[in-house]
């Protein structure tokens, strides 16, 4: 008899979230998310960001959302918390590459003004501070 955990089925239409991280240089870490960030998948991103935001601390963490197809309020909360935790440790957490739909969600919810959001990974790496956005 199998345990209930192993007998659970993946919900129909479920899109998994894949999150990876890597060092781009001695001061920059990249967290790449691909898929949907929602109530079910957000803990995957939380876990990866928690690993990246512990010593030895980078100076910049890039969260690349170019592969994210859906961002729920739970996902927005994860990004806000990462920025807060980074700021407390003097780490710049920068969001980069959101597609049009994800950027629109960030804009409509008002967090675009709070998060450091860049069109691309390159722009996030090369810019010392985004224009008009708070540190």
**pLDDT tens digits for 2-45?**
333 333 444 556 668 999 999 999 999 999 999 999 999 999 99
d(CA 46, CA 26): 22
Q: Which of 72, 130, 70 is nearest to 96 (CA)?
A: 130
Closest of 109, 102, 82, 83 to residue 36, by C-alpha: 102
pTM to 2 decimal places: 0.84
From 129, 94, 91, 124, select the one nearest 112 (Cα to Cα).
94
What CATH topology corresponds to 16-125? Transcription Regulator spoIIAA (3.30.750)
**Domain boundaries of the chain, sorted by first residue:** 16-125
DSSP bridge pairs for 84: none
Taking each helix axis as running N to C, give the angle between helix 42-52 and helix 73-88, from 0 to 180 degrees, rounded to the nearest 10.
10
At 35-78, the pLDDT tens digits run 999 999 999 999 999 999 999 999 999 999 999 999 999 999 99
Kindly report the backbone phi and psi dihedral angles of residue 133, in degrees, each rounded to the nearest multiple of 5, phi listed first.
-105, 145
């Amino acid at each position: 008899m199998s345990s209930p955990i192993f007998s659970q089925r993946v919900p129909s239409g479920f899109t998994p979230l894949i999150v990876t991280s890597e060092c781009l240089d001695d001061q920059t870490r990249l967290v790449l998310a691909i898929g949907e960030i929602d109530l079910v998948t957000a803990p995957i991103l939380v876990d990866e960001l928690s690993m990246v935001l512990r010593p030895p601390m980078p100076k910049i963490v890039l969260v690349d959302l170019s592969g994210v197809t859906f961002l729920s309020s739970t996902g927005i909360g994860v990004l806000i918390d990462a920025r807060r935790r980074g700021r407390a440790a003097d780490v710049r957490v920068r969001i980069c590459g959101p597609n049009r739909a994800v950027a629109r969600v960030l804009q409509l919810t008002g967090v675009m003004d709070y998060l450091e959001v860049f069109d691309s990974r390159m722009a996030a790496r090369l810019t010392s501070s985004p224009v008009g956005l708070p540190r």
